[in-house]
Amino acid sequence: MAGVRRRRALGLLALGASAATAGALWPPARSRDQRAVAGRLGSFTPAHTGSIPIVSENQAPGSTWPPADSRRPGVDDRRRQIQGYASATSVAHGEAIDFHVAVDPAGPYKITVVRLGWYGGTGARELLTSPELLGEPQPVPTPDPETGALVCRWPISWTLRIPDDWTSGLYQAVFTSAEGWRGYTPFVVRDDRRAAALCVVVPFTTYQAYNQWPLDGTTGRSLYYGYRDGVLDAERRAFDVSFDRPYAGDGWPKHFDRDHDFVCWAERQGYDLTYATTEDLHSGRLDPTRHRGIVFCGHDEYWSRPMRLAAERAVAAGTSLAFLAANSAYWHIRLSPSTDGRPERLVTCYKTSPDPGVDAAGPTTLWRKVVPDGRDAEQGLLGIQYNGIVTVPQSLVVARAEHWFWAGSGVADGDRIPDLVGGEADGIVRGHPRPAGVTGVTLGTASYQNPYRRRLVQHTHLYETPQGGLVFAAGTLFWTMALNRARRRDERIERATGNLLDRMARLR
């Protein structure tokens, strides 16, 4: 593309050297239990080599992520110094993606595109920067009086056609004003040309459900809240939320860091990965049966009927699924196109309110309530389902330590992995469907107290299908933090997750 400057790599870093720097960048904090097993655990080292695009990509020099000179907290939704959104959540090689950017005060800015990954522990690689662009303020739209939807119709600021040599992955567009303010928006580059062993699905429907833009005390709407007298109020929530608007604040979606933790860890291990979004699963652009396994790496709470059917068909065909969070596939949604015909730009969920647009897929409410007999409850797919908010993080108590899942981790039954169960939790819920004709196993449990002081039990669960696939559900929002997060990494969880992905990819 004319005027686009490509940042060329100046050299290559060996994977071994890259891994060696990780301790200095993200030193894992070790509990007493971790120190006790460290001697017999050993280090978890990449075993996956060969002509894998992810491996080659992560040999390139990286860029510190987040940027070392980030002004965080920076951009806010009252002043909106620089914010923007993308025309799609995912794009394939040769396809174009538009960016819509507002700058206040008006002035020059640039857009830099980075790919998130391992890169020796730096976390990202800068790929290109736009020419200097001129931006100006753009209006905040009036919420739809019926649905609360906020749909920006800002002009196109810059168009990027995805080069054929870009590696599939999770990307960020970084908007930087002349005054140094930064805003962000994420997107995924797909690789529709090859079927990697594992496909990572990034939960953009959940990102948008939580998006409160503009977080200004007046206008912003999410599927959770609106505003009443400057205070967040669930009764003023939206029923439709649009991707045609920035994410609140500087543009980092809520829960985005959980996905980045997994991306960094999995790319450090050198797995054969490709990436897609929840919208790709909905539309059929992602066919799960082309892959040996599908990894739902983050908080993946909002699912449409086509998403659910695609996952069920994949399990029936022998494809493995891994849900590395909790509260997955909890709300049923509809996805609709934008007024200009771009697909999957509007997320609809009426939750506990009557749904005036009920179609053959059923009302947009809890999956376990879509039909009166509860047969659509998420437990029928996952093996467990959401059962509460964890007020204080709890230890996961290891069960079935002899199972291949825990092999090489050095654990014994009853060992405690501290602070692994937190945020939200899943467990086995009586009276709701369980996967039929499969072999299931509980690999760990935690007793916790919810905000109503009720004691509940979390489960980490795995089942194997007659077709040879696996379905794993971590049952906690803290799982991926234990793979990569500073002072949260746990070598036992790294080893167990590696065992799981090796089995899914059929490396063992």
Which residue from 426, 405, 206 is spatially nearest to 303, judged by alpha carbons? 206
Confidence of residue 309 (pLDDT cuts 50, 70, 90): very high
**d(C-alpha 489, C-alpha 493), whole Å:** 8
Residue of 373, 376, 381 lying closest to 364 (CA atoms): 376
pLDDT, residue 371, reads 95
Distance CA 286, CA 32 (A): 43
pLDDT of residue 507: 87
Helices (H), ranges, 186-291: 204-210, 256-269, 278-283
Task: Give the pLDDT score at 334.
Answer: 98
In degrees rounded to 5, what are phi and psi of residue 307? -65, -45
pLDDT of residue 51: 84
* Tens of pLDDT, residues 369-392: 999 999 999 999 999 999 999 999
Range of 197's domain? 5-504
pLDDT by residue (tens digit) across 389-430? 999 999 999 999 999 999 999 999 999 999 999 999 999 999
Does residue 50 surpass a pLDDT of 90?
no
Predicted confidence at residue 69, as pLDDT, reads 65
What's the confidence (pLDDT) of residue 67? 80
Residue 73: the pLDDT is: 55
Which residue type sits at 421? V
Which tops the pLDDT comparison, 68 or 59? 59
The single residue listed with the structure tokens 């025309």 is 87
Give, to the nearest 10 degrees, the angle between helix 32-41 and helix 491-504: 50
**Residue corresponding to tokens 């389902």:** 385
- The rounded distance, in Å, linking the Cα atoms of 371 and 349 is 16
Residue 192: burial class (beta carbons within 10 Å; 0-12, 13-18, 19+): middle
Q: What is the pLDDT of residue 140?
A: 98
Of the candidates 125, 285, 269, the residue with the CA atom closest to the CA atom of residue 195: 285
* Residue 290 pLDDT exceeds 70: yes
Q: For position 102, what pLDDT does the model report?
A: 98
What is the per-residue pLDDT across 258-285, written as a single tens digit (0 to 9) for each? 999 999 999 999 999 999 999 999 999 9
In 83-130, which residue ranges form alpha helices assigned H by DSSP?
Answer: none
d(CA 230, CA 306): 37
Q: Which residues contact 198 (CB under 8 A, 6 or more apart)?
A: 271, 272, 273, 274, 291, 292, 293, 294, 295, 501, 504, 505
Q: Name the domain count of the chain.
A: 1
Residue 5 in this model has a pLDDT that exceeds 70: no
- For 424, the token pair is 């939200």
- pLDDT, position 265: 97
How far is Cα 447 from Cα 457, in angstroms, rounded to an integer?
5
Cβ-based neighbours of 204, under 8 Å, separated by 6 or more: 89, 186, 188, 243, 277, 278, 279
Say whether pLDDT at 220 is over 50. Answer: yes
Q: What is the mean pLDDT of residues 203-216?
A: 98
pLDDT average, residue stretch 463-489: 96
Confidence category of residue 35, pLDDT binned at 50, 70, 90: very low
